[in-house]
Amino acid sequence: MEWEVVIGLEIHAQLATKSKIFSGSSTAFGAEANTQASLVDLGLPGVLPVFNQEALAMAVKLGCAIDAEIGKVSVFDRKNYFYPDSPKGYQTTQLHHPIVGMGHIDIDMEDGTSRRINVTRAHLEEDAGKSLHEDFSGMSGIDLNRAGTPLVEIVSEPEMRNAKEAVAYFKKMHSIVTYLGICDGDLSQGSMRCDCNVSLRPKGQEEFGTRTEIKNVNSFRFVEQAINVEIERQRDILEDGGEITQETRLFDANKMETRSMRSKEVENDYRYFPCPDLLPIVIDDDYIEAIRKTLPELPDQKKQRLITEQGLSEYDAGVLTATRELAAYFEEVAVKCSDYKLAANWVMGELSAALNKNDVDITTSPISSDNLGAMVARIKDNTISGKGAKSVFQALWEQKGDNVDALIDSLGLKQVSDSGAIEGIVDEVLANNDGQVQNYINAEPDKRGKMIGFFVGQVMKASKGSANPGMVNKVLKEKLDSKC
Amino acid sequence: MHNLTISQISKGLENGDFTSVEITQHFLDRIKQLDQGNDGFNSFITVMEAQALADAEAADKRRAAGNATAWTGVPFAHKDIFCTDGTLTTCGSKMLGNFIPPYDATVVDNFKQQGAVCLGKTNMDEFAMGSSNESSFFGGVKNPWNKATIPGGSSGGSAAAVAARLVPAATGTDTGGSIRQPAALCGLTGLKPTYGRCSRFGMIAFASSLDQAGPMTQTAEDAAMMLNVMASFDEKDSTSIEQDLPDYTATLNNDIAGKVIGIPKEFFPDSLDGEMAKTVRDAIAEFEKLGCTVKEISLPSTDLAIPAYYVVAPAECSANLSRMDGVRFGHRCEDPKDVEDLYKRSRGEGFGDEVKRRIMMGTYALSTGFYDAYYVKAQKIRRLIKNDFVSAFEQVDIIMGPVTPSPAFKAGEKSGDPVEMYMEDKFTLSCNLAGLPGMSIPAGQINGLPVGLQMIGNYWSEANMLNMAHQFQSHTDFHKQAPQGIE
């Protein structure tokens, strides 16, 4: 039977607020355990939550960016369950009245096509602490530094049909929240995590199959892998005539499998009810419009601008705007050298290759955007050749200098573009290679083009590589053709 | 000296009749003498002797330096539901039998700012759940009017301590009548303010949407002085409301002639004890002598208050008490074998029967499949009850009736029958469900036991209620009567 895959994602993004969603504690990552947990985060008797307005502004920003309905009245609910890293015995979240309602984003596929995916909702909630099961023999440690960190949970419609679409969706959402500056997007530190809901149904059937939820997948690659192995697992069961159990599963990247965490029958009854300690959040159009005005240029807009105003290809513009950091770096290079296409070639070519090879992130690139821009500018004004630029690039990468012009001088890469000097060298080369000149003259005109390469090589050699190859070509052609 | 009111002590300190250290020592001696031991009232869980004397000394110095306020050096007590930095705060439960908060509740801090002297933490029903103080892990409290009877609850320790003149006044909290009912049964003045008037920060939550702190005193004048300190807008409590803070003592002597008193027929059902009805009506007649007029009104949803309350309050408490899990503070069972065992035994051992009963009721009411039938319906009833009051206050300035169906009952009489115990609050619950201020003032006695008159005011009308209560007390002496052997 032919199966259709149905995927929906729930993305948790930690908001980049200075303090927690209901207390004044810092949200910085990596502090010593429990040093960023206040009375409120510890859930001591008697303490009360106070909602952080910065988290509200960020959630509304997200809503505006994905063209969503914004909840004018949104309500916090308590989700009741016991777990040691949940200090109050309930999580404060939003069930029935989320801050962000139905919206949508466009995802970009590798083949250049794009597809619209609807976003069901996004709501505010608090993150839990962490249970530490190592280092404590026979016991568990609890670190509540993360408890109370604001999250938006962004829930998609079940509209993705394969793992690649799911990854494209996750990447696009990652790009949007980082462009907005509402999340640092650091997957390795858990700033963004993804739950993947996966089900299969016979192709053509409208009704959804039973789904499973793969919890807490924390990289783009794992999302693709986890979904694919889960699709295979479900397909095997269904084709053997079995039934899928609705349950929560965990992805094990080492074993390349998903395994059951808990089935629906033993799942908690969360007993949601409105949190009586927090008033409903009431906002008006003026508030929303004021936030909308602060939206930065978003990835899709930036991409479009690079295509229509700077003449980049759809593909190049897509790659360069995929992350906020890369886009920012690229635009700094482009502005500095005032040639977007040339800048795109170097950022996507030499720089990306070097970054990949050495596993370095664009934000910690050894070559600053300023220096790369300065270098590209010297290509553009013919000071150096493309080949010479590679030497400059290498020197910059190895931190052998921080001033592009000084490096060009010290490496002796300055091109000779003075036509008189080039003519002198050309004349000398022609005089010393009379046989080749004669061959050129006697050759069929359409074969002469290939033969000119010999003379170019000789001129470059004579100039120790410093002659501007374009000019050399031009002068040679003029002089040789005049002899024919 | 122990019969002095807050207002008299304040004046005495100001006049130099005695020092704070002297009067503090006097009350501490009385507590030692009368509260402790088998025959004691058991109204205190913790007596803060050393701290109180140090605070009294500091207060005397502050007075000498000329920075005293009306409350500087004045002794009082806190219900053991308010977190006190560095002092045991049990909420009447074994669960918090070892809990020493690292912070002060806002209400506690407000008194500290004034330089008031807290003598200790008073006994209460466990987590404020109860109407007789019998659910306290630290034992029941004896009513000073008759030691065989209960003082009411949940603020039973505060009520007994003030009635026995172990302190001149004490704080209380009221979720369904927990200030007004014990005030009535102990012959005191008790006020539950409008929801949002006093900060709930640091007040251990029972039912967050109903809980409110308030004064328990000998007189309306003292209640006004106390509310002046207790009431404040607090950014740490999102349900605290920013509203003008009047000086509640400034309007106590206003003329109350012309005020219209509403008497809801539902507060005088045929089933109400005849003597209770008569005592309350007689008290209302005193107001008529002061120029007030009386109007029969109806609050048709009154009977729905008990079922609605016993859904909302347990639902909220079932979540509020989840943090008592044995992980970070409070009681933890011995040698838990895993986290499940830790939860089950810590909570099983730490909570008493009434608390467990309410957690179970609340958990049930919030469960999938029952939520709409219970919680949602109860919220609808809350709106009906509120609407009843809103229309009533279009016609009247204040509503009056009984606080309790009867005077103090004997210890053990109702403790085996929870529903009978819940009926004790039938006249007080609707006030909390609507968020309105409610008050109890002494209105006479039945068989030597005090009876309270309940006053329910419109939102933010505490000044008016205190004014009417003070005028009533200026023309009657019910509030001056004290239990035998106390004077």
Q: Which residues contact A42 (CB under 8 A, 6 or more apart)?
A: A87, A144, B328
Neighbours of B392 (CB within 10 A): 19
What residue ranges of chain B have pLDDT lower than 50?
Answer: none
- Tell me the pLDDT band of A435, cut-offs 50, 70 and 90: confident
CB contact under 8 A, B327 and A78: no
Nearest CA in chain A to B371: A271
pLDDT of residue A265: 60
Using alpha carbons only, give the angle B324, B328, B332 rounded to the nearest 5 degrees. 65
pLDDT of residue B449: 98
**Sign of the torsion angle spanned by Cα atoms A296, A301, A302, A306:** negative
Active site residues of B: 79, 154, 178
CB contact under 8 A, A51 and B238: yes
Dihedral of the alpha carbons of A452, A455, A457, A463, in degrees to the nearest 10? -140
pLDDT of residue A479: 86
Residue-averaged pLDDT of chain A: 93
pLDDT of residue B486: 81
Of A51, A88, A140, the CB nearest to B323: A88
Mutate to test the interface with A, among B318, B340, B344, B364 (most CBs of A within 10 A): B318
**Sign of the torsion angle spanned by Cα atoms A401, A408, A340, A108:** negative
pLDDT of residue A453: 86
Mutate to test the interface with A, among B316, B377, B432 (most CBs of A within 10 A): B316
Q: HSE (CB half, 13 Å, CA atoms) of B24? A: 29
Of B105, B325, B363, the CB nearest to A46: B105
Dihedral of the alpha carbons of A73, B365, B423, B41, in degrees to the nearest 10? -90
Of B101, B207, B328, the CB nearest to A46: B101
User: Of all residues in chain A, what percent carry a pLDDT higher than 90?
Assistant: 76
pLDDT of residue A17: 97
Separation in Å, CA of B269 to nearest CA in chain A? 33
Mutate to test the interface with B, among A79, A271, A272, A275 (most CBs of B within 10 A): A271
pLDDT of residue B363: 97
The tokens of B107 are what? Answer: 């209400």
Least Cα distance to B445 among B419, B421, B480 occurs for: B480
Size of interface A-B (CB pairs under 8 A): 103
Do residues B422 and B181 make contact, with C-beta atoms less than 8 angstroms apart?
Answer: no
The helix (run of H) or strand (run of E) holding residue A264 is: none
B339 alpha-carbon distance from chain centroid: 37
CB contact under 8 A, A46 and B99: no
Q: HSE (CB half, 13 Å, CA atoms) of A172? A: 28
Question: In this model, does residue A282 exceed pLDDT 80?
Answer: yes
CB contact under 8 A, B319 and A80: yes
Task: Using an 8 Å CB-CB cutoff, list chain B residues near A273.
Answer: 315-316, 319, 366, 371, 375
Task: Using an 8 Å CB-CB cutoff, list chain A residues near B321.
Answer: 89
CB contact under 8 A, B319 and A44: no
Task: Using an 8 Å CB-CB cutoff, list chain B residues near A78.
Answer: 319
Q: Which residues contact A138 (CB under 8 A, 6 or more apart)?
A: none
Separation in Å, CA of B239 to nearest CA in chain A? 6
CB contact under 8 A, B238 and A87: no
Do residues B77 and B170 make contact, with C-beta atoms less than 8 angstroms apart?
Answer: yes
Question: In this model, does residue A266 exceed pLDDT 70?
Answer: no
CB contact under 8 A, A279 and B102: no
Neighbours of A40 (CB within 10 A): 22
Separation in Å, CA of B342 to nearest CA in chain A? 10
What is d(CA B270, CA B268) in angstroms, rounded to the nearest whole number?
7
Mutate to test the interface with A, among B85, B173, B320, B347 (most CBs of A within 10 A): B320
pLDDT digits 0-9 by tens, A458-482: 888 888 778 888 888 888 888 888 8
List, in order of start, the domains of chain B with CATH numbers.
6-258 (3.90.1300.10)
Least Cα distance to A47 among B101, B315, B91 occurs for: B101
Separation in Å, CA of B208 to nearest CA in chain A? 6
Of B238, B316, B327, the CB nearest to A279: B238
Mutate to test the interface with B, among A76, A81, A82, A88 (most CBs of B within 10 A): A82
Task: Using an 8 Å CB-CB cutoff, list chain A residues near B319.
Answer: 78, 80, 89-90, 271, 273
pLDDT of residue A264: 62
CB contact under 8 A, B203 and A89: no
Task: Using an 8 Å CB-CB cutoff, list chain B residues near A90.
Answer: 319, 322
Using alpha carbons only, give the angle A381, A382, A385 rounded to the nearest 5 degrees. 135
pLDDT of residue B205: 98
Separation in Å, CA of A138 to nearest CA in chain B? 9
Measured CA to CA in angstroms, residue A23 lies from A150, B205, B211, B235, B424 at distances of 10, 18, 22, 11, 39
CB contact under 8 A, B323 and A50: no
CB contact under 8 A, B102 and A273: no
Of A121-125, A337-341, A384-388, B252-256, the range with the lowest mean pLDDT is A384-388
CB contact under 8 A, A45 and B343: no
Separation in Å, CA of B86 to nearest CA in chain A? 14
CB contact under 8 A, A49 and B238: yes
Q: Is B50 exposed, middle or buried (0-12, 13-18, 19+ CB in 10 A)?
A: exposed
User: DSSP of B223-268, one letter per residue?
Assistant: HHHHHHHHB---TT-TT--------TTTTTTS--TTPEEEEEGGGS
List, in order of start, the domains of chain A with CATH numbers.
3-290 (no CATH), 297-410 (no CATH), 419-483 (1.10.10.410)
pLDDT of residue B487: 65
What is d(CA A343, CA A348) in angstroms, rounded to the nearest whole number?
8
Task: Using an 8 Å CB-CB cutoff, list chain B residues near A49.
Answer: 238
Phi-psi region of A360 (alpha: psi -120 to 50; beta: other; left: phi over 0): beta
What is d(CA A449, CA A474) in angstroms, rounded to the nearest whole number?
12
Q: Is A108 helix (H, G, I), strand (E, B) or coil?
A: strand
Least Cα distance to B155 among B129, B116, B189, B119 occurs for: B129
CB contact under 8 A, A279 and B316: no
Separation in Å, CA of A73 to nearest CA in chain B? 16
pTM of the model: 0.91
Q: Is B425 helix (H, G, I), strand (E, B) or coil?
A: coil
User: DSSP of A326-380, one letter per residue?
Assistant: HHHHHHHHHHHHT-HHHHHHHIIIIIHHHHHHHT--GGG-SS-HHHHHHHHHHHH
Task: Using an 8 Å CB-CB cutoff, list chain B residues near A21.
Answer: none
The tokens of B405 are what? Answer: 């169906």
Separation in Å, CA of B194 to nearest CA in chain A? 16
pLDDT of residue B353: 97
What is d(CA A238, CA A199) in angstroms, rounded to the nearest whole number?
11
CB contact under 8 A, A276 and B203: no
Instruction: Tell me chain A's radius of gyration from C-alpha atoms.
Output: 30
